[in-house]
Amino acid sequence: MTISPEAFEIAVPIEKLTGIERRVRDFPWHNVPYVPGWTAGASRAFMQSLCAYWVDRFDWRAAERNLNRHPQFKARIDGIDIHFYHVKGSAETARPLLLLHGWPGSVAEFHPLIERLSDPARHGGDAADGFDLVIPSLPGYGFSGCPAAPIGARDAAAIMVRLMTEVLDYDAYISQGGDWGGILSSWIGMLDPVHCAGIHLNMTMPAKPDAGSADEMAWAERFAGLQQVEGAYGRIQMTRPQSLGFAMADSPVGVAAWIVEKFAAWSDLPRTPAGEPDLLSRYSYDELLANVMIYLAEDKFISSTWLYHGSVKPGQLPFSDGGRCDVPTAIAAFPDPVFIPPPRSLSERFYNVVRWTRMPRGGHFAAMEAPDLFVDDVQAFGRQIFG
């Protein structure tokens, strides 16, 4: 069965933009108690600075033009309109690469890398390394449609398989991702080993450690401690996403704070003299706000959390019921400060690991934080898989 895609271009109505700007300008800062730094969540000082930039200097139309520079499409799969970029590569033989974002990211994470991955010769690389890029908004995210009810990771991965095989008719492809993108890529490797030639992950699913391995048990203890401090957002989004959605539905500043705090906590950042994460050393206000606006443009904050709620259902998370992903797997172990990469021995029990790279820098948002390392590793894996 072939599903025909339709061309798409981002064009947020001016009424939507005006409403967002008004609510940002009218935000009641006097109701937000002052707590120094980021210790209790989003920094009030940083958020006030970000919001001042938002209303006085940020240009969504410029961001929109940038996002529209590459071909976009929509295809209806399992009753959901899936938005995706499809950029042909410079390689003579198609080397398809599916790039999957997570939460609280978006397709904007990969946008600065599109030319480097599709046409590397323009950036001093080898044209033979060029990929055909497919960069979708996940179901319920960005410019994709909303599922009728919360959808789990396995079901979302099945939609991505149909995108690659039925919409785009690829015989072989690589799937890459971190966060939910890594979880979906793991499922894709398990669901579609006939067409998925390999997966590249910059985050792997935590799995049960071997009690006889000191390294694995030490990792598990440290990971559990970090989740105790940093994991409350996930519990809320898994168990009470709708209540959170009501709270956020009329507050662009609330959505921005919920998202930006994760960029501060999960990125590999230097510290200011006061010991706070130096968020602007890695990201510009424009980058942070473009990502936030993708959630706000079509009111997708609530539905983006549904992937957490839907994945609580049995069988929606990989390896929860056993099993193994046997397609060739590359793991780029970036020093994520919260979702710390597990030891290779643990990953090898669940994945067919053929490439393991311990990265010297870069955190959870690897494509944005360390684009050079990210591109080099993906290209090297592409050569390993496709020759």
Looking at the structure, tell me whether residues 154 and 118 fall in a common domain: yes
**Which residues lie closer than 8 Å to 228 by C-beta, 6 or more apart?**
none
Looking at the structure, tell me whether residues 76 and 169 fall in a common domain: yes
Q: Is residue 292 assigned to a domain?
A: yes
Domain boundary among 279, 310, 341: 310
The whole-number pLDDT of residue 1 equals 55
Q: How far apart are CA 126 and CA 128, in angstroms?
A: 5
The whole-number pLDDT of residue 44 equals 95
The whole-number pLDDT of residue 36 equals 85
Looking at the structure, tell me whether residues 32 and 87 fall in a common domain: no
C-alpha torsion 177→126→172→114, nearest 10: 40
Q: Is residue 352 assigned to a domain?
A: yes
Looking at the structure, tell me whether residues 103 and 175 fall in a common domain: yes
The whole-number pLDDT of residue 34 equals 84
Looking at the structure, tell me whether residues 120 and 150 fall in a common domain: yes
Q: How far apart are CA 185 and CA 199, in angstroms?
A: 6
Q: Is residue 39 assigned to a domain?
A: yes
Q: Is residue 315 assigned to a domain?
A: no
Looking at the structure, tell me whether residues 53 and 78 fall in a common domain: no
Domain boundary among 280, 310, 340: 310
SS3 content of the chain, % helix, strand, coil (to 5): 45, 15, 40
Q: How far apart are CA 306 and CA 327, in angstroms?
A: 28
Looking at the structure, tell me whether residues 52 and 197 fall in a common domain: no
Domain boundary among 250, 280, 310: 310
User: For every one of its 387 residues, what pLDDT tens digit does the chain have, with 9 covering 90 and above?
Assistant: 568 999 999 999 999 999 999 999 999 999 998 888 998 999 999 999 999 999 999 999 999 999 999 999 999 999 999 999 999 999 888 899 999 999 999 999 999 999 999 999 999 999 999 999 999 999 999 999 999 999 999 999 999 999 999 999 999 999 999 999 999 999 999 999 999 999 999 999 767 888 889 999 999 999 999 999 999 999 999 999 999 999 999 999 999 999 999 999 999 999 999 889 999 999 999 999 999 999 999 999 999 999 999 999 999 999 988 889 999 999 999 999 999 999 999 999 999 999 999 999 999 999 999 999 999 999 999 999 998
Look up residue 194 and give its two tokens. 């006939």
The whole-number pLDDT of residue 278 equals 96
Q: Is residue 12 assigned to a domain?
A: no
Domain count, the chain: 2
Which domain does 293 fall in, by range?
A: 17-60+213-310
Q: Is residue 134 assigned to a domain?
A: yes
Looking at the structure, tell me whether residues 198 and 72 fall in a common domain: yes
Q: Is residue 176 assigned to a domain?
A: yes
